[in-house]
Amino acid sequence: MSISMFLFMTSFNLILPELNDFITVLGGEDKKGLIITLFTISAAISRPFSGKLSDTIGRKKVMILGVAVSILISLLYPFVLSVGFFLALRFLHGFSVGFLPTGATALITDILPEDKRGQGMGIWGTFTSLGIGVGQALGSYISMKFGLDNLFLFASGFTAISAVLIGYVKETLPVRQKFELHHLRITPKDIIEPSVFPSAMVMFLTAPASGIIFILTPDMSKFMGIPNKGWFLGIYVISTIVIRLFTGTLSDRIGRRKTLILGTVILIASLIYTGLSQDVVNFTLASLLFGVATGIMSPTLFAWTADLSAADRRGVGSGTMFIALELGIMLGSVSTMITYNSTPETILQGFSVGIGLSTAALVYLIWHLKYRHSAT
């Protein structure tokens, strides 16, 4: 399942570093922020459906639907001739991410022992982060070597292999229902799982940092003369994997909240450092620091969500967490349309929203640790 997730994450991250230039060529330079925003809107919209379906018809069927959408949309990108068509595809592509990770995370939660969730989510998160980093690191290289149209074909191919691997995964939902139209009827309880509010709040407040990173770092690479626009995230993935070798069981030992406080402090520092970076060396060191922060925080947030979710609500619980993730990324990416005007002088200003919201997450975690009783 982890290998499948790695390939899936690689597939749609392959194309991300080239999309700023792609939309610019189409005449939509002022709409760069929508590249991530539309993607995350559709992913968030689909979460309540994927969460409910995951808890009714099964984890695997939800995942298969996600990869099918991803393969189809990747094959359509080469036919884009207008900004409108491109943005429509970005919106539709988000539905794939709304389905596969939700079902996959519920399945992983089903099979992890309670006392090893932090470690297990660390392994799971490592493959996820590896997919993000490898995809963005390879995307520009493949585009330069084989052309942009073939880059989209590579993305589709990675997703197809991911689908094959899902076929070998054993379904973990014990009682499954046959799909019926009423399963698509969504009520408030299908959208939000109240028990996971604490972890979802931290996710929502820290995820904007990633949305900002996705938009600004490809441009920063270009400003610094780095040919590979995915340099930052390619380096970051090395850091996040290494740190998980040492901190994989940290939250199992000292608790989720204390671990998240440490990770959030490092996240804030990494955002400030990245915004101030003006050369390749500091830009690279900043990406390593960002990797340390996400390597600590990501598995801990998912382990905390698993702790807080009832066994029969894990699909909705993981869906709630991903809704928070996508809304946060959307908020971060949209903020760049206001704070950043595609010039080096506005880079630090572009990071300001992420820094502010991450600081709010730190305050919330300290308050929650002090005033809320919790086993984690």
Using only C-alpha atoms, the chain has a radius of gyration, in whole angstroms, of 19
Mean pLDDT of 130-156: 87
- In this predicted model, what pLDDT tens digit does every residue of 279-338 receive, in sequence order? 999 999 999 999 999 889 988 888 888 888 877 777 778 778 888 988 898 899 889 889
Q: Which helix (H) or strand (E) holds 168?
A: none
Question: Is residue 32 predicted with pLDDT exceeding 80?
Answer: no
CA distance 60 to 69: 15
pLDDT of residue 356: 96
Residue 79 confidence (pLDDT) above 70: yes
In whole angstroms, give the CA distance from residue 247 to residue 294.
11
Q: What is the pLDDT of residue 144?
A: 86
Residue range 43-47: mean pLDDT, rounded: 84
What are the domain boundaries of the chain? 2-170+193-371
- Give residue 76's pLDDT: 95
Give domain 2-170+193-371's CATH superfamily: MFS general substrate transporter like domains (1.20.1250.20)
Alpha carbon separation from 104 to 17, 98, 162, 293, 308 (Å, rounded): 26, 11, 12, 23, 18
pLDDT of residue 375: 54
Structure confidence at residue 178 as a pLDDT band (50, 70, 90)? confident
Ramachandran angles phi, psi of 12, nearest 5°: -85, -15
| Distance in Å from the first CA to the final CA of the chain | 26
pLDDT band, very low/low/confident/very high, at 355 (cuts 50, 70, 90): very high
- Cβ atoms of residues 216 and 347 within 8 Å: yes
DSSP assignment of 21-37: HHHHHTT-GGGTHHHHH
23 CB-side CA count, 13 A: 23
Measure the CA–CA gap between 310 and 316, rounded to whole angstroms. Answer: 10
Predicted confidence at residue 271, as pLDDT, reads 96
Q: Judge whether residue 25 has pLDDT over 60.
A: yes
Measured distance CA(125)–CA(260) in Å, rounded: 15
| DSSP classification of residue 343 | S
Highest averaged pLDDT of the listed ranges 37-46, 123-132, 161-170, 248-257: 161-170
Local confidence band at 6 (pLDDT 50, 70, 90 cut-offs): very high
Q: Is the pLDDT of residue 90 over 80?
A: yes
Residue 89 CA, distance from chain mean position:
18
* Confidence label for 374 from pLDDT (cuts 50, 70 and 90): low
Give the C-alpha separation, 61 to 54, whole Å: 8
Nearest to 274 by CA among 351, 338, 221, 200: 351
Across 68-80, average pLDDT: 93
| Residue 70 reports pLDDT greater than 80 | yes
Which residue's entry shows tokens 């984890």? 59
